[in-house]
Structure 1
């Protein structure tokens, strides 16, 4: 009898087999093909890397015209285990040409990336040894999901307390709907909605971690003064030029989300050649704006922006390809809860009937190695996540 094994079961299988403990890591590094995509490298470099990967026992996919240098620059896809990549890095050390040094630096960074973490301005740390759940509290009259709307202050405080008891690690407070086609509200109105809520939550739950969902620096500043810990900017700091200054000065972490245009017109901006690659490149570029000013990765979180300037197919491609983001070394937040793509996939069901689809998306985030999900239903999602984590890694129980 011959059995096919899942990569996640190998550590346990090796243990039961009785191998020498020092051998386990060696075997695990040989057990999984890790596909990597290198973007926009010089064609001679692509040809050399192809040959070197083959010599190492791995492989490399290159465009058909690459051998004759039909294009000056190309993308390539590497196929290898960690052992193959270790050999490739040794070879690249001896090749100081065609941009190989930068390729080696990026390969080393992505292969040796530590588990990310987020450091709050007060020194507290969000650790991601297990996936965290962010609970949504919309202080708005027009959010797409009526079940997330809360208007009375005491009602918000009680809802927040329930989410915290259910296991929410972060509470996300928003005072303006950013659903497709929505209109902006005045900054004064947005602040009037969120600032009293944040103050009340910090008074009742002083240890809570609060995220302010805004693209306005003035609202974010007022929210931080009221006790907020994280800025969640759907425009990745492009909506307000002062936002980057605030992030630098406040030392508060920021969630950078991908979007094109504004919520009013974003669904008219859904043209992509490769949505996963383009979203990743955009978020890296926005992070670079901060890193040039001394902001570290521990202050930056990526959100691919499900439903923001993407159609159904593109949203599904992003969720499926989420590992392309989680491999970049930054914490990744998936915010797909009850969104219209789920409703469409499930046959046009309304937001009130999209819980199961949301849980499926949260489980995919676990498989992809994401650090957090933003959801309306904390308990249901967290239970599904913890069960899947226990199946994939029993030591997490």
Structure 2
């Protein structure tokens, strides 16, 4: 199971780690932390040294109730940082967390390698066509509504079946346009209650029916810290536990704030399969 990033085949048979770099002032865990070039480059270097295969750069917080960010502002935040990382660490595989087609296009042209779309093309009608033209890997996440409305849209007949149907439809739409490298993301915390998140995690292996690599992103999320009655800052141990479960149920990529711990988790789980 491989994806093609800038002409380099990345084998996802062994799970990989994607480090998160938030360029937003209001992200739930590290908002406003990386606001100058030195801080950004130091964090990227740390994540790469710790074993990250991908760096996921985002400039629009998708936490529940997040502030709206214009396309112009998103581009102004993103493009200089993509160029900065690409210049300093040219081998880095940059993933761009955006649901806007124009942002995706300009980000790839600036040096990014992957598009990570929380809406699977549902928030911008041009996104799938743009990704098809760019011929880059595409991460499609499950969400309903927008970051501002998603937590009011949590009614499901059966959340696991609904996700399987959702991904079947979105994968087919992507394939019809010629997108070949598709990765699915169940979207923990997006239009899902605490109980629904855990039902989904408990049945995560059922999503393997899509025959696509799966990204799991639970890092320091409220499904951990609310259940443990703590804070995102104290949710690393819980994150590692849920990442372990995700790997055992078929995750190919872990999207995390804490790369070192996630890489160690992958190594330990892989040793079980020796």
Instruction: Specify if TM > 0.5.
Output: yes
Q: Residue 196 of structure 2 corresponds to which residue in structure 1? A: 314
Q: Secondary structure at the match of 2:210?
A: coil
Q: Residue 102 of structure 1 corresponds to which residue in structure 2? A: none
Distance 2:168 2:33 in 1: 33
Distance 1:326 1:166 in 2: 28
2:68 to 184, 193, 197: 184
1:326 aligns with 2:208: yes
Distance 1:339 1:188 in 2: 28
Distance 2:208 2:39 in 1: 36
Q: Over the residues paired in the alignment, what is the CA RMSD in angstroms?
A: 1.2
1:372 aligns with 2:257: no
Q: Secondary structure at the match of 1:146?
A: coil
Asked if the contact 1:259/1:308 (under 8 Å) is kept, the reply is yes
Distance 2:249 2:29 in 1: 26
Q: TM-score, normalised by structure 1?
A: 0.67
1:357 aligns with 2:242: no
Asked if the contact 2:3/2:10 (under 8 Å) is kept, the reply is yes
Q: TM-score, normalised by structure 2?
A: 0.97
Asked if the contact 2:96/2:112 (under 8 Å) is kept, the reply is yes
Using the TM superposition, give the Cα deviation of residue 190 of structure 1 relative to its aligned residue in structure 2, in angstroms: 0.7
Q: Deviations over 1:104-152 (max 9, x none)?
A: xxxxxxxxxxxx22122x3211101311000000001000003783111
Distance 2:204 2:32 in 1: 26
Q: Deviations over 1:262-321 (max 9, x none)?
A: 10010000011111111121012111111112222xx10000000000000111111111
Residues 152-301 of structure 1: pairs in structure 2 closer than 5 A:
152-296=36-180, 299-301=181-183
1:336 to 204, 218, 236: 218
Distance 2:109 2:30 in 1: 29
Distance 1:366 1:179 in 2: 24
Distance 1:126 1:149 in 2: 30
Asked if the contact 1:304/1:334 (under 8 Å) is kept, the reply is yes
User: Structure 1: which 5+ runs fail to align?
Assistant: 1-115
Distance 1:252 1:264 in 2: 28
Distance 2:101 2:269 in 1: 38
RCO greater where, 1 or 2, for CA within 8 Å and sep 6 or more?
Answer: 2
What is the number of equivalent residue pairs in this alignment?
Answer: 274
Q: Deviations over 1:173-224 (max 9, x none)?
A: 0001010011220111111111111111111111111000000111111111
Using the TM superposition, give the Cα deviation of residue 157 of structure 1 relative to its aligned residue in structure 2, in angstroms: 1.2
Kindly name which structure, 1 or 2, has the bigger radius of gyration based on alpha carbons: 1
Asked if the contact 2:118/2:142 (under 8 Å) is kept, the reply is yes
Distance 1:146 1:168 in 2: 18
Q: Residue 266 of structure 2 corresponds to which residue in structure 1? A: 385
Distance 1:371 1:327 in 2: 14
